[in-house]
Each structure stands twice: as C-alpha cells, then as structure tokens.
Amino acid sequence: MVEPANTVGIPLNHAALLKDELDIVIPTIRNLDFLEMWRPFLQPYHLIIVQDGDPSKTIAVPEGFDYELYNRNDINRILGPKASCISFKDSACRCFGYMVSKKKYIFTIDDDCFVAKDPSGKAVNALEQHIKNLLCPSSPFFFNTLYDPYREGADFVRGYPFSLREGVATAVSHGLWLNIPDYDAPTQLVKPKERNTRYVDAVMTIPKGTLFPMCGMNLAFDRDLIGPAMYFGLMGDGQPIGRYDDMWAGWCVKVICDHLGLGVKTGLPYIYHSKASNPFVNLKKEYKGIFWQEDIIPFFQSAKLSKEAVTVQQCYIELSKMVKEKLSPIDPYFDKLADAMVTWIEAWDELNPATKA
C-alpha cells in the first residue's frame, strides 16, 4: 500500500530554485486545498490557475500563495475569436496558462496530485527534481545504460562516445505517479484495483526517434525552448475525443525536439496521484482515440520537418499542414485540429511577440 507524504513541519523552501523564472500552471474545476500539502515546496512560486467549466464558480486558493487566475470569460476576453483553440470542459485548457506566462520554465500539475514519499519515507519535492532534470543536459543520440549520466554518483558508461557526452539542452521533464497510474480506460476497467507502488529511482532521456505517451499531470518544460509546441489538443466540449490532449502535445513536442536537437527526459520525480477518474466516462472520451492512434502514431513516426524549419513555430506550422493533409482523411476532427494548431501559434505569437534580437 503506498501512501502520500506528510509535509507538516517541513520548513518553507526559501532558497527555491528558479523562483522568479518559473510558473506553476494548474487546470482546475475545484478548490485548490491540495496546495496545502505542497506549501513547503511550492509557496515561493507564482501560480497560474486556469479555471475550467462554469466561470461564475469561485475557486478557493489557500492563503499565502501568489497567483493569477483565468476563467473562460478571461480566455475569451484575452484571445477573442482565437479562444476557439483553447479546450473547454477538459484539462487541456491548461495550455492557456503556458501561453500567458512570461517565465522561462513551466511546471504543470493536476489538483488531485499530492506529495509522494520516496522509499526512505522522505517527502519528494517534485518541482526541485524537475528543475534538476531541466538544468541538466539530455543524451538522446546514444542510450546510457546507467541512465542519467549527469546525476551525482553516475556517469557515462564504457563505450559511450566522448563526442556525445556534452549532451543537448533539455526541453521537457516528464514525471511519474505513485498510487493511481495514468492508465487508459480499458486498462483501468480490467485492473480497477491496480496501484503503482513501484518507485524506480531513475531519470532517462527518451532516445531520438522514439515517441512517448506524455502525461500532463506531473510535467515541466523549458518554455523558451519548446513552449509554442506545448499545445494541448482540442478536447472536451464539442469534440469527439478526450484525454488525448497531453498525448497530442507530447507527440508534436517529441518530433520537434528530435528535429531541433533538444532532449526529453522521463522518470523522477514521482507525485502521488490520488483520484481515479471514472473509467466508463474515460472510455467514452477515449474510444475513438484508441483506434485513431493506430494511424496517428505512424504519422508522427514518419513526420519529417524541413531544414528551413528552425524555430518551434515554423516546425509546428509545418506539422499542422501535415496533419491537415494526412490525418484529415481519418476524420474531419483532424482538419479542425490542424486549424486550431495554427490559431494556437497565432495566439502564442500575439501574446509573446518575439523580442528584438
């Protein structure tokens, strides 16, 4: 049986790393009491709360946290017609928080994710580990069998080319979950009582050319390096699928990171995921995605970006054209999604004008 940590008595982290260079983005439909447990680790940071659902509802935020909150009225006011690319009634709305942030780094977490305990019983400061992951290089071109070579007490193993040991900049840090694992609905239905109790003490770079299923509930990234590609695809109200928003972003991000020579890491840190969402509701959201992805994955595996695509925006627009051409025949949804990808970039560039070089 795995339990969340007890953080009562842990002193506030006054030496919080990247305190003024990182925003924490939380999508929510409920009061944010869960922050109480995270207070020692997260209170020094600025929060961007993206309130989904009914904008007239008041979201209670615990005392002492510095935050800005955006509801659907705010999103519509700020983006105007471009707000159509931001999902409604789905956690995908969180990507609006990435767009309005002005910081270099983002950490995004769900409101049913709590502080995990490591095998020694120590409370895991997930944000601290994500920051370590992002500030350390990645090694996507050659797999290091001792996992993260930049970690204290590890290194590159014999046979690892010295020409590759400098590594590349890390764009994404993908964390994991104890207790309720991020399973799809069919797996949840078959294994309703399965809990993840396995704490694997490893961080590894996902090799170039390999896609991965990016989960949005415990995720950090370098907004300057990959922010414009972190569009959580159109889901929720009025859309034929749900719970593929983070997956869509992860596939686009990985293709672009591979093209631009950026790294993506997965592994530590763990959070404690407390709530299993309803598998039947999830099945309704996921079922089209489950068979569409058998075509979507080969599409991303074979996606080739041109050498002229040297910025994330250019890569993303190229990808959107490929989506429109190659995935729209599957379903008109992909035509709409391709358009939403372009709208997202237009909105991103409007809110984040390129600074004069």
Ligand X SMILES: O=c1ccn([C@@H]2O[C@H](COP(=O)(O)OP(=O)(O)O[C@H]3O[C@@H](CO)[C@H](O)[C@H]3O)[C@@H](O)[C@H]2O)c(=O)[nH]1
Give 267 or 279: the residue with its C-beta nearer to ligand X.
279
Alpha helices in 95-244 (DSSP H): 95-100, 126-135, 185-190, 223-226
* CA dihedral of residues 280, 285, 286, 291 (deg, nearest 10): 120
Give 219 or 225: the residue with its C-beta nearer to Mn ion.
219
Is residue 28 at the binding interface for ligand X, with CB under 6 A as the rule?
Answer: yes
- Packed helices 312-326 and 245-260: angle between N→C axes, nearest 10 degrees: 120
The entry of Mn ion, ligand X, none near residue 222 (CB within 5 to 8 angstroms by kind) is none
Is residue 335 at the binding interface for Mn ion, with CB under 5 A as the rule?
Answer: no
The least CB distance from residue 201 to ligand X, in Å, is 23
Q: What DSSP string describes 97-134? A: HHHH--SSEEEEE-TTEEEBB-TTSPBP-HHHHHHHHH
Give 179 or 205: the residue with its C-beta nearer to Mn ion.
179
Is residue 182 at the binding interface for Mn ion, with CB under 5 A as the rule?
Answer: no
Among 23, 90, 222, 318, binds ligand X (CB under 6 A): 90
Is residue 295 at the binding interface for Mn ion, with CB under 5 A as the rule?
Answer: no
Contact region for Mn ion (CB under 5 A) — 105-113, 128-136, 145-153, 302-310? 105-113
In three-state secondary structure terms, 268 is strand
Rounded Cα distance between 108 and 219, Å, is: 5
Among 21, 74, 112, 182, binds Mn ion (CB under 5 A): 112
Sign of the dihedral through C-alpha 189, 301, 319, 103:
positive
Q: How many residues bind Mn ion (CB under 5 A)?
A: 2
Among 184, 246, 286, 318, binds ligand X (CB under 6 A): 246
* CA dihedral of residues 254, 255, 259, 264 (deg, nearest 10): 10
Is residue 210 at the binding interface for ligand X, with CB under 6 A as the rule?
Answer: no
Tell me which amino acid residue 194 is. Answer: E
Report how far apart, in Å, the C-alpha atoms of 188 and of each of 91, 171, 279 are.
19, 30, 6
Q: CA angle, 165 as apex, 160 and 170 as ends, to 5°?
A: 125
Report how far apart, in Å, the C-alpha atoms of 57 and of each of 54, 62, 77 are.
6, 16, 18
Residue nearest to ligand X as judged by C-beta position:
91
Is residue 27 at the binding interface for ligand X, with CB under 6 A as the rule?
Answer: yes
Q: Which of residues 99-118 bind ligand X (CB under 6 A)?
A: 110-112
Instruction: Give the DSSP letter of residue 196.
Output: B
Is residue 29 at the binding interface for ligand X, with CB under 6 A as the rule?
Answer: yes
The least CB distance from residue 152 to ligand X, in Å, is 30
Q: How many residues bind ligand X (CB under 6 A)?
A: 22
The least CB distance from residue 50 to ligand X, in Å, is 7
Give 44 or 236: the residue with its C-beta nearer to ligand X.
236
The least CB distance from residue 275 to ligand X, in Å, is 6
Exposed / middle / buried, residue 308 (Cβ in 10 Å: 0-12, 13-18, 19+):
exposed
Contact region for ligand X (CB under 6 A) — 12-20, 242-250, 295-303, 308-316? 242-250
Question: Which among 136, 196, 210 is positioned nearest to 171, based on CA atoms?
Answer: 136
Give 270's contacts (C-beta < 8 A, 6+ positions apart). Answer: 116, 118, 124, 126, 175, 176, 177, 178, 199, 218
Give 90 or 110: the residue with its C-beta nearer to Mn ion.
110
The least CB distance from residue 91 to ligand X, in Å, is 3
Among 30, 46, 151, 324, binds ligand X (CB under 6 A): 30
Residues found near ligand X in the complex (CB under 6 A): 27-30, 52-53, 89-91, 93, 110-112, 182, 215-217, 243, 245-246, 275, 277
Residues found near Mn ion in the complex (CB under 5 A): 110, 112
